[in-house]
Chains A and B, each alone.
Chain A
Amino acid sequence: MPEFLVRLNDAAKSRVLTLQEYFVLAGKSLRFIFARPFYAQDVVQQMDEIGVKSLGIVLLTGMFTGMVLALQSSVQLKTFGATMYIGNLVSASMIRELGPVLAGLMVAGRVGSGIAAQLGSMRVTEQIDALNTLGTDPIKKLVTPRVLAALVMLPVLTIINDFIGIIGGNIIASLVVGVPTTQYWRTVWTQIAADGFTLRYVPNDFVQGLSKPFVFGALISITACYFGLGTTGGTEGVGQATTRTVVTSSILILIVDYFITQILLSVLTYGR
């Protein structure tokens, strides 16, 4: 077989193996959520690490995103004399897209890199091997608590991000554009109600805005654990694992966001 075909064959096999290992890790970590022993203390600790300690960065991101959204949209809406609809635009953008995506990207940067660095360091200092020899499954002990904590905390962070973003929009709308606060919040609710409801009471915007962070939480934590546990080559390897985690999870968030939106737009009935 020609040299280039051999290399192509090896590269393809390697990619397939990577995907297989990724999905095996994902499957095991999710399955172990329901298997004994439960590492409740580790889950709480990771919730603090992933959720509580990310609060500052998420608050800042949400606030300034809402403010800049209001500011930019006011310029466009002014040309139509429609500045009173700023609330509609800010709420729809924040709840459906920017809230989940920005919270995901922030957590990928802050928490994903941290998880990869921590597990990578444990790998190169033989702590993962030590867990194995002490009769503990490293996936159960290290991966599952992180995945579970991310699954719970990312939607919570997204809700806070959405709310703070809408408040940021409110500040600009009332102080810079001159839209009264009551009018602003009325248009926020009008927009949410106009986008329809699932099961009569749950706004479609909330369904879209909260299903995404759930998936992003899994993506970030599994990607970080995958690269962290697979670290080779000492401290340099830890650095590479960290970089790969942030790049891969950020790209995955943006790609998966498109597909979730596409699916939900075809499933949810908007405008009813």
Chain B
Amino acid sequence: MADEPTRRGSDRGRSVRAAIRRELADGVSVDEQEQPPGPSDEERTIVELDHVWLAFDSPVLEDVSFRALNGETVAIVGESGTGKSTILKLILRLLVPDRGQVRIDGEDITSLTFDQALEVRQTMGMVFQGAALFDSMSVFENVAYPLREHTQMDEDEIEARVREKLEFVDLDADRVMEQFPAELSGGMRKRVGIARGMANNPEIMLYDEPTSGLDPLTTATITKLIMKLQRELGVTSVVVSHDIRSVFRMASKVALLNDHRISFFGTPEEMTGKDDRYINDFLGGL
């Protein structure tokens, strides 16, 4: 059965935490009833980078810390090459920091093995800059992919879920399901990418430049879609973007990366009210 579209984050939050604990415990069952009572749902930190340092040949991130509370949309902005997309890779555990911790729903994921990380990634959805749809598969197969891989749903249930997700992103399921990515416009590809990312009803959605390369109307549509996801499904989102206007519409908090460090973290209102030359230059008279 397809899950209810209005299902809130708390249930899924428990499933993320349970998945990570299961992986960390390496088969040893953990009775969640025995866990001490945590903060309320709204105050629960879902994504947290805690004093993260990362370098390849040169420094990429230095002492980066921020947190996204349950249901919040945190936007990471900054100049090109400052390590914004790297943060998404750290959250997905595609990269491991040299120092510091990356916590998902309170659990540190930096010590997970590759196979354990694969399991945890199933609880997140990711939307890539170019959508990254599998071009050998139809739209239906793309959205159905995570369901076929990680659930025991039968074909009818999968079709119902795919239709539900395509309709959520305002696509005509009957028209696009059998089309291939090459036949879609940039905006439609992005929307299919969002539908695929949310197919498994993840608690966390990550977006890498979701509006880049799109015309202003499509940009507004994608921005509204991300806001709808937060509003109706209570999804916690981390958005990497250059598009300051969209960021200010959708984000609860903004993290500004400058010279490999976070130079500002707060609400959009706090950002515009900040008397800082770099921030003012970056906002460019918004």
Please give the residue numbers on chain A whose beta carbons come within 8 Å of chain B beta carbons, in ascending order: 37, 121-122, 125-127, 129-130, 132-137
Contacts and interface: CB of A to CB of B under 8 A. Distances in A.
B97 interface: no
Given A132-B92, A134-B122, 12 more contacts: A122-B134, A130-B126, A130-B133, A130-B134, A132-B118, A134-B146, A135-B122, A135-B149, A135-B150, A136-B149, A137-B115, A137-B118
A135 B119 CA distance: 6
A137 B134 CA distance: 15
Q: Determine chain B's interface SS by DSSP, over half rule.
A: mixed
Contacts, number: 50
A126 B130 contact: yes
B124 interface: yes
B265 interface: no
Interface string B121-165: 110101011101111000000000110011000000000000000
A46 to B, nearest CB: 12
B92 A133 contact: yes
Nearest to B124: A133
A125 B42 CA distance: 36
- List 7 tightest A-B contacts by C-beta distance, closest first: A126-B132, A135-B122, A130-B132, A133-B126, A126-B128, A135-B121, A135-B118
B94 interface: yes
A37 B152 CA distance: 13
5 contacts: A37-B149, A126-B128, A129-B128, A134-B146, A135-B121
Nearest to B136: A118
B134 A127 contact: yes
Contact of A130 (B118, B124, B128): B128
A126 B146 CA distance: 16
Contacts of A133: 92, 94, 121, 124, 126
Nearest to A118: B136
Contacts of B121: 132-135
A134 B149 contact: yes
Given A127-B134, A127-B135, A129-B94, A134 B128 contact: no
A125 B130 contact: yes
Contacts of A127: 132-135
B118 A136 contact: yes
Contacts of B122: 134-135
A132 B135 CA distance: 16
A133 B122 CA distance: 7
Contacts of A135: 118-119, 121-122, 146, 149-150
A144 to B, nearest CB: 15
Contacts of B115: 137
B145 to A, nearest CB: 6
Nearest to A121: B135
Contacts of B126: 130, 133-134
B188 to A, nearest CB: 16
A134 B92 CA distance: 10
Contacts of A134: 121-122, 126, 145-146, 149, 196
A130 B126 CA distance: 8
A136 B146 CA distance: 9
Nearest to A134: B146
Contacts of A121: 135
A125 B150 contact: no
B132 A125 contact: yes
A132 to B, nearest CB: 6
